[in-house]
Amino acid sequence: MTTVRNPVLRGFEPDPSILRVGDDYYLATSTFEFHPAVRLHHSRDLKHWTVLGHALDEGFDLRGVPDSGGVWAPSLSHSDGRFWLAYSIVRTMDGDDKDIDNYLVTAEDIRGPWSDPVHLGSRGFDFSFFHDTDGTHWIVGVQWDQRPEHPSFGGLVLEQYLPDEGRTSGTATVIHQAPTLIEGPNLYRIGEWYHLLIAAGGTGWNHAITSARSRQLHGPYERDPAPFVLTARDAPGAPLQKAGHGELVQTPNGEWVLAHLAARPVLHLGERYSTLGRETCLQAVRFDEDGWLRLADGGHHGALEPEFDVTEEESAEEDPAEWTEDFGAPLDTRRWSTLRAPLSPETADPWTRPGWLRLRGGHSTASVFDQSMLLTRVREHRARFETRLDANPRSVRESAGVIAWYDRRSWIQLQLTWDAENGRHLRVVSRDEGRTARSEPIAVPSGALKLRADLEGAELRFSWASPERDEWDPVPGTFAAWTLSDDHGGRLRFTGMLLGLRADDLDGRGWSADFGCTHVRFDPGE
């Protein structure tokens, strides 16, 4: 037996799509506006997971998409000797309107190369593939209705995919509707039944998984008599909140496993904030005597340490909780992400000054095009991010430093900049729902500096030092890390906190900053 510690993918890793091929488990997660897109993970024992890479990397460009737009809910499957990956690109989220394009790419190897995308239409989002036993292929997803007097979530629709013609049939059938919000559907044929796994209640505190079933592919689908397969909506103190949006996989010995998203919130003044975003968990499940899906241990609350009847691989590798980047090789995109598009070699240059990354300044934090920023996902509520910075700003429009990022309206940065009153100095600049705050300036000596960000639950602290000194000078005050969460503000937000390096050149004159050895540590507190 293997005991798994949830979440198995920690930090911003939502909307898991899980698959087994032989003895290997693969799992894809959403990336939204971040690049590369669609993170791919691998395990052989369900306990130890590593990031293999991304399906949408070179040549993939999301410039112009809104915050929390971009790539939603990938669906990973395997049929006809190939991996299939369906995904949505959300290009507009404006009131009743959503502009969405759905695509399919395939590959013989999970590491690629992946095919050119096939357009699957723009009917809605959360589309997943179902490969029936008769050799036909289907997509099931959410149909969006933009009419203000109608429910936006217009039901779950089924449409055939014709691989020989590289297109969908063009005719979709509504197979399930509900009075409440439902999305994230996945179809499975188990025995004589078609089982429909459904995300319900929206991806917040009321999130849940429900199910329905039919003996016919096109329905009618009978709703599960139990209200939920999985939820934490009735348990606000449970460690795994927002549990929902799941997929099933079967082990070689026939055991069923549910992969789902959840969140581990922190408290600030009694309110919950999911600063790490939505994470990926696993649960042991079974089908009861009436044929309905249930958690193996009963109830509908997810377990922190479920057990699975699989053999644990003692030599298995995991992505480390502590690592150092010395910029001696091309950037490892399994660790580092950028916004919407890759940074060009001219923008992120590790060659001109060995051991340093020369980051040419980019657009402001408000841009949906060319920001110059390198980010890594925050995986625990206690984290440290430390780097060296060598830069010489000569204008209020030039700055560089360490940033804690959620999106364009929510971030906190310790930045090195210049102005006529203070000369070269450090200060903390933050944005909260569009409002910008600036701390008092801190005079610093010329030359390189060491910068540090420490995350401590709902708070963030900064400090700095000269390279030759072991003592760190704290920046006065603490800063509101809880604002960098899904739950802050009045907008829909779906990602998570990231820490990283940033350079701004708002005059576009080619100014750059050099970042040296960078150390990252996540403390699970166990």
- Mean pLDDT (whole number) for 378-382: 98
pLDDT at position 33, please? Answer: 98
Q: Is 504 a catalytic residue?
A: no
Using one digit for the tens of pLDDT, what is the confidence trace for 66-99? 999 999 999 999 999 999 999 999 999 988 889 9
- Domains along the chain with CATH numbers: 2-308 (2.115.10.20), 322-523 (2.60.120.200)
Ranges assigned E (strand) in 177-255: 182-190, 193-200, 208-214, 222-223, 230-231, 241-250
User: ∠333-368-99 over CA atoms, to 5°?
Assistant: 100
pLDDT at position 137, please? Answer: 98
- Mean pLDDT (whole number) for 381-405: 98
Q: Is 307 a catalytic residue?
A: no
pLDDT at position 164, please? Answer: 95
- Mean pLDDT (whole number) for 94-118: 95
Ranges assigned E (strand) in 264-397: 266-268, 271-273, 279-287, 293-295, 307-308, 322-325, 338-339, 348-349, 357-360, 373-377, 382-390
pLDDT confidence of 23, banded at 50, 70, 90?
A: very high
Q: CA torsion, points 439, 444, 449, 452, in degrees to nearest 10?
A: -30
**Region label for 447, one of left (φ > 0), alpha (ψ between -120 and 50) or beta (otherwise):** left
Whether residue 158 contacts residue 173, with contact meaning beta carbons closer than 8 Å, is answered with: yes
pLDDT confidence of 526, banded at 50, 70, 90?
A: low
Whether residue 35 contacts residue 342, with contact meaning beta carbons closer than 8 Å, is answered with: yes
List 183, 386, 487, 505, catalytic entry: 183
pLDDT at position 502, please? Answer: 98
- Mean pLDDT (whole number) for 135-151: 92
> What is the distance, to the nearest Å, from the Cα of residue 62 to the centroid of all Cα atoms in its chain?
15
Strand duo 50-56 + 37-43: pairing? antiparallel
List 15, 349, 398, 514, catalytic entry: 15
- Mean pLDDT (whole number) for 376-389: 98
Q: What is the mean pLDDT of the chain?
A: 96
Lowest-confidence segment of 194-198, 214-218, 325-329, 354-358 by average pLDDT: 325-329
Which residues are within 8 A (CB) of 332 and not within 5 positions of it... i.e. 6 or more apart?
325
pTM beyond 0.95: yes
Closest CA to 194 of 220, 216, 172, 161: 216
Using one digit for the tens of pLDDT, what is the confidence trace for 467-493? 888 899 999 999 999 999 999 998 889
pLDDT at position 390, please? Answer: 98
Tokens standing for residue 277: 């975003």
- Mean pLDDT (whole number) for 504-510: 97
Report which of residues 179 and 216 the model is more confident about: 216
Tokens standing for residue 255: 């055991």
Whether residue 262 contacts residue 278, with contact meaning beta carbons closer than 8 Å, is answered with: yes
pLDDT at position 434, please? Answer: 84
User: What is the Cα–Cα distance from 416 to 427, expressed in whole angstroms?
Assistant: 7
